[in-house]
Each structure stands twice: as C-alpha cells, then as structure tokens.
C-alpha cells in the first residue's frame, strides 16, 4: 500500500514540475486565458494533462522507448504535431481581434497539441529510466494517473493566474502575439531536430 501512495505522490509532483517549463500547452493556455477564454484555457490544460498521463504511462510501463527505436515514427509524429501546432497558431492569429470566445471545452485542443508529439514521450522515457526503472505495471499506471493530476493542477492554476491579469494593458495586447510566434517556433524546432 505504501508503494501505491509513493507512486501516486511521485506522479503528482512530476506532473506539476514537468508541466511548468514553457511548452506548447503552457503557451496555448496563456494565449487563450489572455483572450478572456479561461474555460477554454483550462480545457487545453486538461487535454494536455491527459496526454501527459498517456505519455508517462507508456514510458513507465516501458513502451515509450519504442518510438525512439523507429526514427520514421518519430519523424511522422513530429511532423503531425508541428502541423497541428502551426494550424492552431494560424487559427489563433486570425482570432486576435475576435471578441467571441471559442466554442468547446479546449480538451481536444490540448490533446491534439500534445499527444502526437514524440518529444514529451521521449522526455518521459528518460524520466522513467532514471527515476524508477524497475516499477511494476500497476504502480506505473498509478504514477501516470498522479502525473495527470499534477499536470492538470498546474495547468488550471496557470489559466487562473493569466485570466486574472488586466486585459486592457499592454501585456494582454502583446503576449498573445508572442505566444503564437512561440508556438510556431516550438513546432519548427521539433521538426528540425528530427530531420
């Protein structure tokens, strides 16, 4: 029982900590929250957290290394992720002046921006190999659920903080443009690294 608690707690901490660096989901959350779409921004975070759960589960169970073993899969996934990210950024660029919030919860957007990307899966495979390489499958799944909870908590907190910023200031007008440029840059760097 103690192993279950350790796996869950470690997962929550890993989920929160690994969600903090600037990445596609964080940038998309900032973009949506600054546009006054807190609900959509939170949904993006939940979708990203679900993707983190899947990636970490695959990594800790030992399947994550398969993607790295097949360079063609890596390239195809990286290109697919780049296309989705750039498409999101282009859609966002068209919405900079839009006053109407997006429909939907944002969960599918968060999933689409993260799940096909091989970089987070590779990162989770490295984390799994260094932190708990001999973990059992049931504990790996508990840890992965903890990762999802930790990621979701961080992403929801980020959406809340950013949505609380005054929207009439210079930061709120400039940051969405910077976020869109960052999204495209992250996508292109991800593809360039694998080609």
pLDDT per position as a tens digit, 73-106 = 767 767 777 777 777 776 765 555 455 666 678 9
Residue 184's nearest CA partner among 75, 64, 84, 66 is 84
Query: Is 19:148 a contact under the CB 8 Å cutoff?
Result: no
The predicted structure's pLDDT at residue 170: 72
**Is the separation of the CB atoms in 169 and 33 below 8 Å?**
no
Q: Can you tell me the distance from the alpha carbon of 101 to that of 13, in angstroms, rounded to the nearest whole number?
A: 32
Angstrom CA distances, 178 to 18, 27, 102, stand at: 22, 9, 20
Q: pLDDT tens-digit profile of 37-77?
A: 899 999 999 999 999 999 999 999 988 667 667 777 767 76
pLDDT at 119 over 70: yes
pLDDT at 123 over 60: yes
Quote the mean pLDDT of the chain: 83
What would the pLDDT profile of 138-190 be if each residue is shown by its tens digit?
Answer: 999 999 999 999 999 999 999 999 988 887 777 667 777 777 777 777 677 76
Sort residue 136 into left (φ over 0), alpha (ψ -120 to 50) or beta.
beta
């Amino acid at each position: 029982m103690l192993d279950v608690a350790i796996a869950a707690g470690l997962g929550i901490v890993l989920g929160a900590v690994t969600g903090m660096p600037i990445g596609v989901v964080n940038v998309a959350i900032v973009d949506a929250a600054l546009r006054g779409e807190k609900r959509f921004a939170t949904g993006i975070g939940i979708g990203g957290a679900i993707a983190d759960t899947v990636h970490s589960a695959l990594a800790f169970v030992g399947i994550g290394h398969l993607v790295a073993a097949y360079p063609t899969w890596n390239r195809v996934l990286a290109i697919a992720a780049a296309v989705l990210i750039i498409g999101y950024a282009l859609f966002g660029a068209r919405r900079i002046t839009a006053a109407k919030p997006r429909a939907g919860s944002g969960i599918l957007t968060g999933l689409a921006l993260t799940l096909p990307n091989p970089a987070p899966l590779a990162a989770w495979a490295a984390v799994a190999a260094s932190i708990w390489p001999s973990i059992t499958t049931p504990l790996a799944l508990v840890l992965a659920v903890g990762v999802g909870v930790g990621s979701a908590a961080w992403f929801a907190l980020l959406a809340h903080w950013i949505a609380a910023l005054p929207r009439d200031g210079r930061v709120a007008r400039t940051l969405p443009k910077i976020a869109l440029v960052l999204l495209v840059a992250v996508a292109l760097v991800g593809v360039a690294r694998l080609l």
